[in-house]
A and B are shown apart, each in its own frame.
Chain A
Amino acid sequence: DAGITQSPRHKVTETGTPVTLRCHQTENHRYMYWYRQDPGHGLRLIHYSYGVKDTDKGEVSDGYSVSRSKTEDFLLTLESATSSQTSVYFCAISESGQGNSPLHFGNGTRLTVT
């Protein structure tokens, strides 16, 4: 398995509270991604990073922010969680971000917003 650790594995939180999910990699890959998985939608890209302090938005970025202060860590923050953000969140990494360097995924974080 690619060295990707997501924490926490599960989290239940209340509407309106801030939440931070962490992705840690030991592969020294340049590209890191946050996706959310919802039934009927597959995986949708929230944000991605192409280097330390270099990030960009994906297709469902509203309500989320990210930070990458070190190569190995990519944080996803929900500033004020809403029930629509109940989902499974996946972190992924890629050495080059190109198709010849496929994405490898962490084991996901199940977030429930009550």
Chain B
Amino acid sequence: AQTVTQSQPEMSVQEAETVTLSCTYDTSENNYYLFWYKQPPSRQMILVIRQEAYKQQNATENRFSVNFQKAAKSFSLKISDSQLGDTAMYFCAFMASNDYKLSFGAGTTVTVRA
């Protein structure tokens, strides 16, 4: 079983500032996918960004970017120019290429202050 660890239960950031969420994972697989999902107070689960392990280039989606360090098994999410609508819980998730199951971390609650 894969283990995904998010060591920061809560984070707070001022509007327009940058915040970085950490995620580490444990796997013996070489090919896999990593994801960040956002869950706002509405409870909806929204895919933010996806990274394929065989791609060295870090994924970027608008204000969201990742720092993928394969050797360190680290996958952090950076939110730039934070907006009030970014207030949510963020989940890191892992899926091996030869598996059909997504494993989640415990989540990090991000609060953006006006």
Contacts and interface: CB of A to CB of B under 8 A. Distances in A.
Given A59-B1, A99-B50, A102-B50, A42 B97 contact: no
B11 interface: no
Contacts of B52: 99-100
Contacts, number: 58
Contacts of A31: 100
Contacts of A59: 1
B47 A104 contact: yes
A98 interface: yes
B109 to A, nearest CB: 10
> How many residues of B sit at the interface, in one of the four size bands?
20 to 34
Contacts of A43: 45, 91, 104
B104 A44 contact: yes
B44 interface: yes
B101 A99 contact: no
Interface in B14-59: 32-33, 35, 42-45, 47, 50, 52
B33 A105 contact: no
Interface string A41-60: 11111001010000000110
Contacts of A98: 95, 97, 100
Nearest to B32: A99
Interface string A7-35: 00000000000000000000000010101
Interface of A: 31, 33, 35, 40-45, 48, 50, 58-59, 88, 90, 92, 94, 97-100, 102-105, 107-108
